[in-house]
């Protein structure tokens, strides 16, 4: 049998093509498996936001000693480990432990009052604990936000997407009020609002009727108006703040009429607006945020980090930040819609609500659209507790995507 060089070439070519086909198939299978286990949109948005925040905090650390870049990186490191661990776990079994979740939630919220754990930070900040043995400090309310979402999702999933009676709806609202009032009683109204809004979104998505939700909103508005009307009366009778703290009233006054308000919060808002406006279209660049570096903008690494970001990177940098949040939120919504488990779907929706409200509130207060609160900007603000929980939350979303098939 004759065997020409041309036959050898064809044989080699055919063998190479077969090898390449096998490699391509393996790569395609690998990419397919990765996409089945990890949602690319959520991953890309998270990595970009964390990197963006790291750049901002590094820049802030050049002007402010409290903005420790090493501590920020530590929070990212621990949060990443937690995210990977929870991503590998199937969370559907949590839906069977609603009572335990409520108990754990209250313990976490009240833990700063436990002797031996309570910790008072700089400027007299309370609501923190110091973990014995390792000396790390942690803000438990950040974890409580997440536990509350799970707790309300376990209750809401019992109705299979439809709440038929007012009694059941009131029961769900009453359950949500327990962690909300506990957080408010600890003196953290801002975090209490995050708990309330994220939990309320879960209840709405559990099948609550529109008229019930609108009636609840009207009732809440009426209660807030009544509290504001009676606050000064109770304060004058008892000689101290009863319903609303004076600093909280100052923040509300600044929001309603910032030009005529005379308080530190009015000054903070004015400096924030100046910082945002002075950034222009492209910003002043890293290390050149004079409004912040000069000490005019307070807490620019935490509460007013968006104003610092806007001064540094301008309108373009702010727009990029908003685009990343939109990608993260809509990608997470897609994860929720693809999930067959009602409990995981409701948990995912609650996480979206938490991210969206914190982002809207933090950015809104920096530009005068929302009252000033101490709510951090997700993935951007300095704070190891917030960063660890935010990354843990991303791990939960990725776990929901990984286990999206199969109802539970």
- Give CA–CA dist 79/16, Å, rounded: 45
Taking only the tens place, the pLDDT of each residue in 280-292 is 999 998 888 888 8
Strand spans (E) along 52-120: 118-119
pLDDT of residue 408: 45
Q: What is d(CA 16, CA 91) in angstroms, rounded to the nearest whole number?
A: 45
Give tens-digit pLDDT for 306-365: 999 999 999 999 999 999 999 999 999 999 999 989 999 999 999 999 999 999 999 999
Q: What is the dihedral of CA 340, 341, 347, 353, to 10 degrees?
A: 30
Question: Within 10 Å of residue 180's Cβ, how many Cβ atoms?
Answer: 22
Residues 6+ apart with CB under 8 A from 220: none
Q: What's the pLDDT at 212?
A: 93
Q: What is the pTM of this model?
A: 0.87
Total residue length of the chain: 408
CA dihedral 150, 156, 160, 161 (to 10 degrees): -110
113's tokens: 């009052």
In our burial notation (b when 16+ CB lie closer than 10 A, e otherwise), range 107-131 reads ebbebbeeeeeeeeeeeeeebbbbe
Per-residue pLDDT at 21: 58
Torsion, Cα 198 199 205 211, to 10 degrees, reads -110
The pLDDT, as a whole number, for residue 31 is: 58
In the chain, which residues have pLDDT < 50?
A: 1, 3, 5-12, 27, 123-124, 407-408
Q: Are strands 128-130 and 137-138 parallel, antiparallel or unpaired?
A: antiparallel
């Amino acid at each position: 049998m004759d065997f020409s060089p041309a036959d050898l070439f064809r044989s080699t070519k055919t063998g190479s093509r077969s090898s390449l086909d096998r490699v391509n198939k393996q790569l395609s299978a690998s990419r397919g498996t990765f996409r089945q286990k990890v949602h690319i949109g959520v991953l890309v948005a998270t990595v970009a936001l964390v990197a963006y925040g790291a750049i901002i905090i590094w820049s802030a650390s050049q002007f402010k000693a409290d903005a420790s870049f090493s501590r920020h990186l530590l929070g990212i490191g621990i949060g990443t480990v937690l995210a990977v661990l929870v991503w590998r776990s199937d969370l559907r079994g949590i839906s069977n432990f609603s009572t335990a979740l409520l108990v754990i939630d209250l313990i976490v919220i009240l833990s700063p009052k436990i002797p031996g754990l309570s910790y008072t930070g700089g400027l007299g900040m309370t609501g923190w604990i110091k973990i014995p043995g390792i000396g790390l400090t942690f803000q438990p309310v950040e974890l409580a936000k997440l536990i509350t979402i799970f707790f309300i999702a376990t209750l809401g999933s019992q109705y299979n997407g439809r709440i038929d009676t007012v009694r059941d709806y009131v029961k769900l609202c009453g359950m949500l009020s327990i962690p909300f009032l506990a957080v408010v009683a600890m003196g953290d109204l801002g975090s209490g609002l995050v708990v309330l809004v994220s939990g309320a979104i879960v209840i709405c998505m559990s099948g609550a009727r529109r008229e019930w939700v609108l009636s609840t909103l009207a009732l809440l508005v009426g209660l807030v108006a009544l509290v504001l009307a009676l606050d000064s009366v109770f304060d004058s009778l008892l000689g101290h703040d009863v319903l609303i703290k004076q600093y909280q009233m100052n923040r509300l006054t600044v929001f309603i009429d910032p030009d005529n308000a005379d308080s530190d919060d009015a000054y903070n808002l004015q400096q924030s607006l100046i910082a945002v406006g002075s950034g222009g279209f492209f910003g002043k660049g890293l290390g050149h945020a004079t409004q912040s570096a000069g000490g005019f903008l307070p807490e620019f690494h935490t509460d007013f980090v968006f104003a610092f970001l806007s001064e540094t990177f301008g309108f373009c940098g702010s727009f990029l930040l908003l685009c990343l949040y939109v990608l993260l939120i809509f990608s997470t919504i897609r994860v929720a819609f693809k999930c067959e488990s009602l409990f995981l779907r409701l948990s995912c929706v609650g996480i979206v609500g938490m991210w969206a409200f914190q982002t809207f509130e933090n950015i809104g207060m920096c530009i005068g659209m929302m009252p000033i609160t101490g709510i951090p900007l997700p993935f951007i603000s300095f704070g190891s507790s917030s960063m660890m929980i935010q990354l843990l939350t991303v791990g939960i979303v990725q776990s929901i995507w990984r286990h999206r098939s199969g109802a539970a």
